[in-house]
Structure 1
Amino acid sequence: MAATQTLAQASALRKSVEFSPQPSDINPVSMRPRKGVIVLYGYGTSVRVDRGHLVIEDGVGSDRYIGRFPRVGNGLERLVVIGADGVVSLAALRWLADQNASFVMLERNGRVLATTGPVRPSDIRLRRAQALAHHTGVSFRISRELIDRKLAGQERVARESLHDEQTARRITEIRSELAEVDSIEAIRFTEARAAKVYWNAWRTHSITFPEKELIRVPEHWRNFGSRVSPLSGGSPRLATNPVNAILNYLYALLEAECRLAVAALGLDPGMGVLHMDTANRDSLACDLMEPIRPDVDAYVLNRIINRPLKRRWFFDERNGNCRLMADLTERLAETTSTWARLVAPVAEWVMQQIASTTKTRRTSPATRLTQNRKREVRGGKPQIIPKPSLKLPNVCGNCDNEIVRGSEKCKSCALEVTTLNLIRAASQGRIVSHTAQAESKRSQTQLANRASQRAWSASDQPTWLTAEFYSDRIQPIVSSLSGRALARHLKVSHGYAIEIRHGRVPHPRHWRTLASLLGVVRIDA
C-alpha cells in the first residue's frame, strides 16, 4: 500500500553533467511555481539561498532552468525534487520552513526519500497515547472508520467513474460487514476482498493513444489489466503500463502529504494503527492514505485517461517497467495541494481520536491543518475542499499534437479526415443516385414536370405579370421565403427552391404563386 516505483531514469535521453556546456554557453530559462509547486529534476540540481532569495536551478545539459524567489510574494508551497544528483543547502531548508513551504524528495523510482515541512511543537502525551493505541482500542476504531471511508469512496468511483453498478453494489455489501468485525485483522481481510472486486472492474478499461503512435505502443499498455505487477511478485510496484505508473506516482505524492500532515500534528509517522510495523515505512502515513486513494483513482479516471495519452510521456525499461517522463511528473505534481487539503481533516480526526484516550488532556487538540476551530470561533464555515482541477493537454486522436478543448483532432488531421469523409460521402451519393429506384423516381418527377409545362398556357398569365415585373418586384424579395416553404407551395424539389432563393428565375407558371406568397400586387400607373 505504500508508494511505488514509477519515474523514468531516461539516461539515454540525458547527457551527463561532465559533458555539459560551460556555464558561459548556457542561457537558463526562468521558472515559477505552477499551482504553488515547483518540480526539480535532471542533473546538477541546486537549491540555495543568495542574499535572502531562494535560488533554484535544474535541467539537463544545456537545457537549464533557474528561479530566484524573494521571501514575500513568491507563491511557493511545495518544492519537489526528483532524483539525488545535486545540492540542497541547510539555509535553503531554513528558508522554506520560514515561508511555511514543504520540501519533498522522491527517488527516480518514485519512492519517497524525505519530506520536511513546517515544524510544530509536539506533545509527549499525544505520542504516548499513539504508542498505546492498540492497547486502548482506539486503533481498532480508527482502522474501521478509515476503511469504511475508503470503501465508500471505491463504491462512488465504481458507480460514477467506471459506470459499474454491479461492482458498486458488491462493494456496498462488503462494506456493510465492517459493522460486525471484531479485530484489525478482520478489517484488513474485508478491505482486501473489496479491493479485489474494485480492481477487477478496472481490468478491461481501455487506454487510448493517438493512432499514428499505436505502432510504438505495447499491446499491454492499451488496457489497465491488473493492479498487481508481474515484476514485483504480487504488489503494484514496478508498474508495467501507463495507468498503474500514474497511480503509483500520485500515491507517492499522497504519501508525502500524509507524512507532512502527521509531522505537523505532532504524531509519529512510523507508528501506524492499521498497517503493520515494517522497516523503512511510515505506517501511520499509509493509514491516512487509505480514505484518500479513491479520490486519486477518480481523478485519474475522470481527468487523465479519458483522453488520448502521449507516447513520449512514458518510458519502458528493458525489464518492462513503465516509468513516467519528467514533463508528465511535473504536471502531476501540481495536484499536491489538493491531496494536502483532502488529508488534513482525516489527519486531524485521527489525532483527536488518539488524544481522546489521554486522561490529562482537557481541551481538544488544535486543528493546525484545517483551522476549523478558528473558523468556528469566528463564525465561519468549515474549509471547502476543491476537486483537482489539473488536466493534461488535449491530444489529437490521430497524432500527438496538442489541440484546443472541445476538439478531437488537430487542424491538419481534421482536414485529412474531412476530405476523406467528403470523398466517401460523394461516392456513396453517386451510387445511391443511380440505383433503379432513384432513376424511376427521377423519371416520374421529370414526366410530371413536363406535363405541367404543357398544361400551362401563357394566355392564362395576367398581362401585368411580365418578366420585367418579376425581376423588379418579386425576385428582390423572394429570398425572404424559406426553401421548405417554396418547395411546398411550388411543388418543386428543395434544391430547385434553394436555387430560386439565390436568384434563379423559375418557370413563368410559378410567378403568380410567388406573387401571392409575397403579397405583391399590381400597381397601376
Structure 2
Amino acid sequence: MQLILDDFGVFLGKKGNCFTIKNKEKTDEYSADIIDQIKVVSPCSLSSSAVKLAMENNIDIVFTNKFGNPFGRIYPCKLGGTTLTRKKQAESYLSQKGFFIVKSLIIGKLRNQENLLKSLSKTRNGIFNTEIAQIENLFKHIDLINGKNIDEVRESLLGIEGQTASIYFSCISRIVPLDKRDHEAKDIFNISLNYGYGILYSEIERACIISGLDPYLGFFHTDRYGKPSLVLDMIEPFRQPIVDRAIINLFVQKQMDNSDLECVGEEIFLTKKGREKIIKMVLERLNLEILFNNKKMSF
C-alpha cells in the first residue's frame, strides 16, 4: 500500500508502529506493516521519528512534483545486493549479454503495445488490424539484428522502436483526445499519461535500488549526467500494461476531461481530483494479480 500525502500542510508523524497523518480536521493512523512506500505530493511536514520508522521497515519516501515526476527520495542506507552486482551490471554493458537484455526489453515493449492494440481492437470491430499486422512484421526485423554489444545495434533498435511508437500512438489517438504523443504537451491526455509514467518511474527506480542495481548505469538509453538510464530502460515494457491501459480506460469511460486541469500562472497542472483518479487507476493496475507460469503474481 502507498501512503500518499496529497493535502497541503499535513503532518506525518509516528505513534507506536503506526504512521499518523494529521490535518486541521482529523488524524488518521496506518500500520507500518501494510505500507510499501510513502509518496509526498504536496508541501507538508515529516517528523524524524516517522522517517526513522519508515527506514526501519524498508519503506522509501518519494517526493514528486505536480507533474508526478520524482525529484527526491529517502531510503535506508543499506542497499540491496552487493558491489559484485553492480560490477556484473557494468560488465554486461560491454558484452553480448547487454545486447540480449536490451533486445528483450524492446521485444517486451513492442509485444505489450501490440497486445494492448489487440485488446482495444477486439471490442471495436477490428479497427486496428492493419496496424497490428505492421507491428507484427517489425518483429521479423528485430530477429535479424545481432551484435557483440549494445553500441553496435542501438541505432537499429531505436529505429524499430520509433516506427512502432508512431503506429501505436496513431491508433490510440483514434479513441482518446490525443493529437500526437509529446511529453511536453499541455493537453489533458498527454499530461495524464506523463503523470502516470511518473508513478511507474518511482516504482521502477525503487525496484532497481532494492535489487542492488545502479539506476544510472543503463544499456539502451545513453548515459548522461544525472539521468537514471537503467530506470528509463526498465520502464519501457511496463508502460503499456500498467499506465497506458489505465489512462486509456479513464478517458474511454469518460472519467477524465479538461475539468481535471488547472492553470497556475503559465503552467497547466492536473487538479487534486485528477491526480487522485490517475493514482487510483495506476495503482490498481500495479497491484492486479495475473496468472504467469501457473503462479498468481502482481506487477
Deviation at 1:340, TM superposition (A): 7.0
Q: 1:279 to 1:42 in 2, by over 3 A?
A: farther
CA distance in 2, matches of 1:271, 1:91: 33
- The residue type paired with residue 168 of structure 2 is Y
Aligned residue for 1:155?
Answer: 114
2:20 to 49, 55, 59: 55
Provide, for residues 372-403 of structure 1, a one-character-per-residue CA deviation record: whole Å limited to 9, x for no partner. Answer: 9xxxxxxx9534337xxxxxxxxxxxxxxxxx
**Within-5 A mapping of 1:426-441:** none
Matches within 5 A, 1:61-460: 64=25, 66-71=27-32, 75-83=34-42, 85-116=43-74, 120-162=79-121, 163-182=127-146, 183-206=153-176, 223-228=177-182, 236-237=183-184, 239-295=185-241, 296-301=243-248, 303-308=249-254, 309=256, 311-316=258-263, 319=266, 322-334=268-280, 335-336=282-283, 338-339=285-286, 382-385=295-298
Q: Distance in 2 between matches of 1:331 and 1:148?
A: 30
CA RMSD in angstroms comes to: 2.7
SS in 2 for 1:161: helix
Name the counterpart of 1:398: none
Q: Answer yes or no: is the 8 Å Cα contact 1:48–1:54 preserved in 2.
A: yes
Match of 2:4 in 1: 39
Give the TM-score of the pair, scaled to structure 2.
Answer: 0.83
> Measured at CA, do residues 262 and 65 of structure 1 come closer, stay the same or move farther in structure 2, by a change above 3 Å?
farther
Report the 3-state secondary structure (helix = DSSP H, G, I; strand = E; otherwise coil) of the residue aligned with 1:132: helix
Counterpart amino acid of residue 110 in structure 1: G
Indicate how the Cα distance of structure 1 residues 86 and 317 shifts in structure 2: closer, same or farther if over 3 A, else same.
closer
Q: Contact 1:57–1:67 (CA<8 Å) still a contact in 2? A: yes
Q: Which runs of 5+ in 2 are unaligned?
A: 122-126, 147-152
The alpha-carbon deviation at position 116 of structure 1 amounts to 4.5
Matched residue count: 282
> Matched residue of 1:181: which SS?
coil
1:407-460: CA deviation from partner (whole Å, max 9, x where unpaired): xxxxxxxxxxxxxxxxxxxxxxxxxxxxxxxxxxxxxxxxxxxxxxxxxxxxxx
* Larger RCO (alpha carbons 8 Å, 6+ apart): 2
Q: Percent identity?
A: 19
| Contact 2:38 2:62 (C-alpha < 8 Å) held by counterparts | yes
Q: Distance in 2 between matches of 1:275 and 1:340?
A: 27
CA shift, 1:227, in A, is 0.7
Q: Normalising to structure 1: TM-score of the pair?
A: 0.49
Which moved further from structure 2: 169-178 or 85-94? 85-94
Is the deviation greater in 103-112 or in 188-197? Answer: 103-112
Q: What is the CA deviation profile of residues 348-374 of structure 1, one whole-angstrom value per residue up to 9, with x for unaligned ones?
A: xxxxxxxxxxxxxxxxxxxxxxxx9xx
Local SS of the residue matching 1:243: helix
Aligned to 1:447: none
**Is the partner of 1:263 in helix, strand or coil?**
helix
Q: Contact 1:258–1:340 at 8 Å: present in 2 too?
A: no
Cα distance in 2 between the residues matched to 1:149 and 1:184: 16
Does the C-alpha gap of structure 1 residues 281 and 90 become closer, same or farther in structure 2, counting only changes over 3 Å?
A: farther
Larger C-alpha radius of gyration, 1 or 2?
1
Residue 279 of structure 1: how far off its partner (Å) = 2.6
Residue 124 of structure 2: aligned partner: none
Gaps of 5+ in 1: 1-35, 207-222, 229-235, 343-371, 373-379, 387-525
- Please report how far the alpha carbon of residue 255 of structure 1 lies from its aligned counterpart in structure 2 after TM superposition: 0.4
Give the strand-richer structure, 1 or 2: 2
